[in-house]
Amino acid sequence: MNDRPAIILRALTGATPADILPALERTEDGVWLSRTVWCGRYTLRGVPARLVDVLIEDADAGPWVVERSRKAGRYDGAERDRIALRRYNPGMGALQHLVELTISSEGAEAVVQVGTWTGRYPRLRDHLDPASGGLRRIVLWHATRYYSFLLDCGAKADVEALAAELDADPASLDLGLAEANRLVSRRLYQIARRAGWRKLTLREQRRLGLEGRQWWPETRIAEAYSATGCGEETLRAAAGTPTVEAWAAGTRAESGPSATLRGNGLAAGLARLLAVPEEP
């Protein structure tokens, strides 16, 4: 599987980040498009990220270029639309066309217009309904559908505690359904990592012969790496233990001048230190 998105359109645009940011919701992760190009990752307000995401390059000024592409997910291979707003650089070649980029709402849909192309995406509810179970219901739904292994490996109490914590938070009533889903998924992910599980990309699953599901115990992953004859540093990474490079990258990320880099934490610091593009 090719992790790089297939670019369908690349053109100059008069749109700027300020024009589209009001229609977007920021996610916690970002994307390295190259060794020097870092983008914040957004979703359309109220629209799940599995349908479409929007990248905005961390740049002070244009000229701006819009890219439309299809991106395959690293974990399940499912494709989604991707819109990127980037600063023009000479490596893009001569771009003659100027297209419009707009994001608007029509009824229960978010509408993206890029030149003559239009993307329509269903929006979820703007606010949670406490009568339907609120965040507790969402936690249990995600746990049953995506994190069922937590219910069988001794972490069920942690899942129940998370459901009670989030459901009791008055701020949860201000969340849209898409925001709530992302929050719950992120917190369950953290519980899974603390419980000794790791989510493998499709490429990792195939390389290690651990196919059929995304989440595996770290001990089983370490065994699979050991069977391939990998070295100690690889085994440490497989078991979730920071490698020497990762530790150095984390230190650099914490002391660096970029707030965006610090906010993205260890992974972004490692990507910058080793100059390796990172894709979500």
Q: What radius of gyration do the chain's Cα atoms show?
A: 20
Q: What is the pLDDT of residues 197-213, one digit of tens each?
A: 999 988 888 888 898 88
Does residue 17 sit in the same domain as residue 111? yes
pTM > 0.85: no
- The count of domains in the chain is 3
Does residue 275 form part of some domain?
no
Task: Return the minimum-mean-pLDDT range out of 16-20, 179-183, 189-193, 237-241.
Answer: 237-241
Asked which of 179, 195, 211 is the last residue of a domain, the reply is: 195
Residue with structure tokens 């995304």?
214
CA–CA gap between residue 82 and residue 70 (Å, rounded): 6
- What integer pLDDT is reported at residue 270 of this predicted model? 39
Task: Give yes or no: residues 80 and 31 share one domain.
Answer: yes
Question: Which residue reads 């998370």 in tokens?
Answer: 162
**How many residues comprise the chain?**
280
Task: Look at residue 25 and tell me if it is in a domain.
Answer: yes
Give me the residues paired with residue 99 across strands.
Answer: 13
State the distance between the two ends of the chain, measured CA to CA, in whole angstroms.
14
Q: Is 136 in the same domain as 177?
A: yes
What domain range is 163 assigned to? 130-195
How many angstroms from the chain centroid is the CA of residue 75? 11
Q: Are residues 209 and 191 in the same domain?
A: no
How does pLDDT run across 240-249, given as a tens digit for each residue? 544 545 544 4
Residue 18: its pLDDT value, please?
93
Where among 95, 122, 149 does a domain terminate?
Answer: 122
d(CA 39, CA 31) in angstroms, rounded, equals: 5
Same domain, 111 and 18: yes
Domain edge (last residue) among 146, 165, 195: 195
Based on the domain organization, do 157 and 212 belong to the same domain? Answer: no
Work out the average pLDDT over 218-235: 74
Whether residue 266 lies inside any domain: the answer is yes
Residues 85 and 143 in one domain: no
**Is pLDDT of 79 > 60?**
yes
Which two three-digit tokens encode residue 52? 């479409």
Q: Are residues 104 and 134 in the same domain?
A: no
Is 1 part of any domain?
A: no
Per the CB < 8 A criterion, the answer to whether 128 and 141 are in contact is no
Give residue 126's pLDDT.
63
Question: Would the pLDDT of 253 be above 90?
Answer: no
DSSP 162: H
Residues 243, 186, single domain; the answer is: no
What's the token pair of residue 277? 């593009």
Same domain, yes or no, for 66 and 166? no
Same domain, 93 and 149: no
Tell whether 81 and 117 lie within a shared domain.
Answer: yes
CA dist., res. 27 & res. 105, Å (int): 20
